[in-house]
Structure 1
Amino acid sequence: MTFKTLIIAELGINHNGDPGLAKEIMAAAKTAGADVAKIHSYKAEEVMTSATPLADYMKSHSAKMQESGFLAMARKFELSDNSTESLKAYAEDIGIEFLSSPFDVTSVHYLHRLGVKRLKIPSGELVNPFLLQAAAETCLPLIVSTGMADIEEVQWAVSFLKKFNCGPLSLLHCLTQYPAEFCHVNLRALHTMQDAFPGIEIGYSDHTPGIETSIAAVAMGATIIEKHLTLDRSLPGPDQAASLIPSEFAAMVEGIRHIEEALGNGVKSPSAPEIPNMKIVRKSLVLREALPGGTVLSLSQLSAKRPGTGIPARELEKVVGRRTKQALPANHILQWDELV
């Protein structure tokens, strides 16, 4: 049975605080084949102080945003509880899982009461013991992003969560850059994390442009893929440039599903479609010349030619020195019962 990668469409704040736009993106995620649609849940004043600067990528995205500051931007994109509940109900109506990343303890408790299936811990909260404890104590499955972290910090977070008897854990390799440069992605870290955390699912949160790294991550064993989705990259907002549009997201999903099938079971053996071709493509031992009965076969009298319906060419050493039972013509495909 083919393993199915969990594909998360990250709406994040690409809705720009508009629940109607969020629903449109959710619908696009469902159509594109995503399993999960994810938003951000936070109370701006609990997440940051007014002294929090904008990241460089946010500054370059909008001069207006730069003037207003990070806290003002966060307030603008913050969804009310009513909006969040409406989005969860809408997701259930269209048949896609609703997920959210809480950025503060209050939001952890709120999402738990709301009845989400699991929680997604964002990279910035990996080293926040207040939020990690609250998340662990819900006993919900946790998907934890690890952007900006070294392996020791990830180990600390895993140990901390387990101390509070957390639910099942998954970890996502991530590069916290929007959009992420390919030269910094370091997909081989997936193998490092797989070795460091046996028994924990390892996935990839992808901020690169395009779809290649997500597909490659699945080929390297990632079992969860998270990728930003927007309806239009020209919309305002800091994450739009690092997002796929629906047609691109659908192409990514298709590529991932193809890779899942292509990975197979790891056993090196002929597959069912190959077996009929073996008799056509492989070669048999064939006589270079006509030979009388009783001839002791030598290497110079033999060649390998298609079809593979006679003695397989790889049996050459077993045939040299054997004797023919009867006269055989040139180009004859040898059979075992013709030899003594």
Structure 2
Amino acid sequence: MIKKRTYIIAEAGVNHNGSLDLAIELVDAAVKSGADAIKFQTFKSESLVSKSAPKSDYQLKTTELGESQLEMLKKLELSVSDHYELKKICDKYGIEFLSTPFDFDSLDLLERQMGMETIKISSGDLSSAPFLLAAAKTKKRIILSTGLSCLGEIETALGVLAFGLVGGVEMPSIKKFKDAYTSSEGQALLQKHVSLLHCTTEYPTPYDEVNLKAMDTLKAAFQLPVGLSDHTEGIAIPIAAVAIGATIIEKHFTLDRNLPGPDHKASLDAKELKAMVAGIRQVEMALGSGIKTPAPSELKNMHVARKSLIATKKIAIGDIYTEDNIGIKRPGNGLAPIHYWEMLGKSAMHNFDEDDLLE
């Protein structure tokens, strides 16, 4: 079976630095790259982090010293009107507008008010059961990142999603989540609505901590489509992920890695994003059907590369074919070498000069 087209998400995230103009430029770059979607982040800072929430190590290196995470995020919010403007532009240019909601109001904005069909849930919210339940109750497509987690935590999250997708109206509980997850209806709805992204939540991710083989583990464990949210430097890892079966690729990009902000330095530039998309599309074509048969383009080379039985010296009618007068040489448009042994001991029916193809 030929691999389906990989869904490529150009992750703009907060690399617009709170500027609508810069966000629009990011849309333009994503469109030119050939990505299927561009994704931003939607949040109300006060609903996302407390005043005392610390920055991560990578944020400390890439943002202002002495600034809290809350203060940093306040600079990176997009307004409601910004969201509508960006979606309008995305619709105009044929690229899907996505945004990750980080709080209930943002989920409502994206799903109910803006009518988005896909909800991307970040790794940080994999353990946020009430938020997962609210997302599942929308009955929209859900892409769930699985950074920071192990299999048991992912199964628990999928149980919450299954409960919401089934439409449970009773009081949520761990038992109800398990029951929904193990039910045939719950499993069918997870198959219909949910995809998983393997992810390592570090920016940039060290290559020896990517663990691409975990994608196979996720597929075997949950029987859901699996992709990669990649935070490594460069484009090799997402291309490799597609080669081993990723159905979705998400990758951060920026217009300038030297811009201020937490994620620019761990992002691709626009040229690299375009190269990544091109590389993924090449890999998709190269994977093929899996049926081992000569490719149309190589058929013309068969006679040139293969060999035939030939006369190694003059052979007259009636001469006996022996190891001394027949051999194997190119081209391959004569009698195939598989017939070598059955020819030995037979009498020649024609005259042959040296290097003539036998008949």
Pick the TM interval, shorter chain: over 0.9
Aligned residue for 2:143, secondary structure, equals strand
The 8 Å contact of residues 287 and 303 in structure 1, kept in 2 or not, is answered as yes
**Structure 1 match to 2:56:** 55
**Structure 1 match to 2:39:** 38
Aligned residue for 1:299, secondary structure, equals coil
1:2 to partner: Cα distance: 6.0
Q: Which amino acid aligns with 1:117?
A: E
Partners of 2:130 and 2:199 in 1: how far apart?
A: 22
- The yes-or-no answer on 1:137 pairing with 2:162 is no
- The yes-or-no answer on 1:174 pairing with 2:199 is yes
Of 21-30 and 189-198, deviating more is: 189-198
Q: Which amino acid aligns with 1:6?
A: Y
Q: Which amino acid aligns with 1:303?
A: G
**Structure 2 match to 1:338:** none
Paired residues, number: 332
**2:211 equivalent among 172, 178, 186:** 186
Q: Which amino acid aligns with 1:229?
A: F
Partners of 1:214 and 1:271 in 2: how far apart?
A: 27
Runs of 4+ in 1 over 4 A off after TM superposition: none
**Structure 2 match to 1:330:** 354
- The yes-or-no answer on 1:239 pairing with 2:263 is yes
**Structure 2 match to 1:310:** 334
- The yes-or-no answer on 1:10 pairing with 2:11 is yes
The 8 Å contact of residues 105 and 130 in structure 1, kept in 2 or not, is answered as no
Residues 119-158 of structure 1 mapped to structure 2, 5 A cutoff: 119-158=119-158
Partners of 1:193 and 1:156 in 2: how far apart?
A: 14
**TM-score scaled by length of structure 1:** 0.93
Q: Which amino acid aligns with 1:221?
A: G
Q: Which amino acid aligns with 1:194?
A: K
Partners of 1:52 and 1:108 in 2: how far apart?
A: 22
Q: Which amino acid aligns with 2:213?
A: R
Aligned residue for 1:130, secondary structure, equals helix
1:94 to partner: Cα distance: 2.1
The 8 Å contact of residues 256 and 269 in structure 2, kept in 1 or not, is answered as yes
Q: Which amino acid aligns with 2:88?
A: A
**Structure 2 match to 1:115:** 115
Q: Which amino acid aligns with 1:100?
A: S
The 8 Å contact of residues 134 and 164 in structure 2, kept in 1 or not, is answered as no
1:299 to partner: Cα distance: 3.2
Of 166-175 and 256-265, deviating more is: 166-175
Distance 1:204 1:315, change over 3 A: farther
Q: Which amino acid aligns with 2:212?
A: L
Aligned residue for 2:144, secondary structure, equals strand
1:287 to partner: Cα distance: 1.6
Aligned residue for 1:37, secondary structure, equals strand
- The yes-or-no answer on 1:283 pairing with 2:284 is no
1:111 to partner: Cα distance: 0.9
After superposition, the C-alpha distances for 1:166-211 in whole angstroms (9 at most, x for unaligned) are 651111111111111111111111222222222x211111111111
Aligned residue for 1:40, secondary structure, equals strand
**Structure 1 match to 2:298:** 274
Distance 1:301 1:196, change over 3 A: farther
Q: Which amino acid aligns with 2:100?
A: S
Aligned residue for 1:325, secondary structure, equals coil
Aligned residue for 2:332, secondary structure, equals coil
Q: Which amino acid aligns with 2:60?
A: K
Of 135-144 and 319-328, deviating more is: 319-328
Distance 1:143 1:315, change over 3 A: farther
Partners of 2:305 and 2:15 in 1: how far apart?
A: 54
Distance 1:284 1:57, change over 3 A: same
After superposition, the C-alpha distances for 1:114-158 in whole angstroms (9 at most, x for unaligned) are 111201111111111011101101110111111111122222222
**Structure 2 match to 1:103:** 102
Aligned residue for 2:319, secondary structure, equals coil
Partners of 1:296 and 1:127 in 2: how far apart?
A: 82
Identify unmatched segments of 5+ residues in structure 2.
Answer: 166-188
Aligned residue for 1:329, secondary structure, equals coil
The 8 Å contact of residues 109 and 134 in structure 1, kept in 2 or not, is answered as no
Residues 66-105 of structure 1 mapped to structure 2, 5 A cutoff: 66-105=65-104
Partners of 2:229 and 2:96 in 1: how far apart?
A: 17
What RMSD in Å do the two structures reach over aligned CA positions? 1.5
Of 242-251 and 301-310, deviating more is: 301-310
Partners of 1:310 and 1:258 in 2: how far apart?
A: 37
Partners of 2:345 and 2:215 in 1: how far apart?
A: 55
After superposition, the C-alpha distances for 1:89-111 in whole angstroms (9 at most, x for unaligned) are 12112221100111112211221
After superposition, the C-alpha distances for 1:20-45 in whole angstroms (9 at most, x for unaligned) are 11111111110111110100011222
Aligned-residue identity in percent: 42
Partners of 1:128 and 1:321 in 2: how far apart?
A: 81
Distance 1:286 1:10, change over 3 A: same
After superposition, the C-alpha distances for 1:49-106 in whole angstroms (9 at most, x for unaligned) are 11211000011113x2x31211111122122212111211121122211001111122
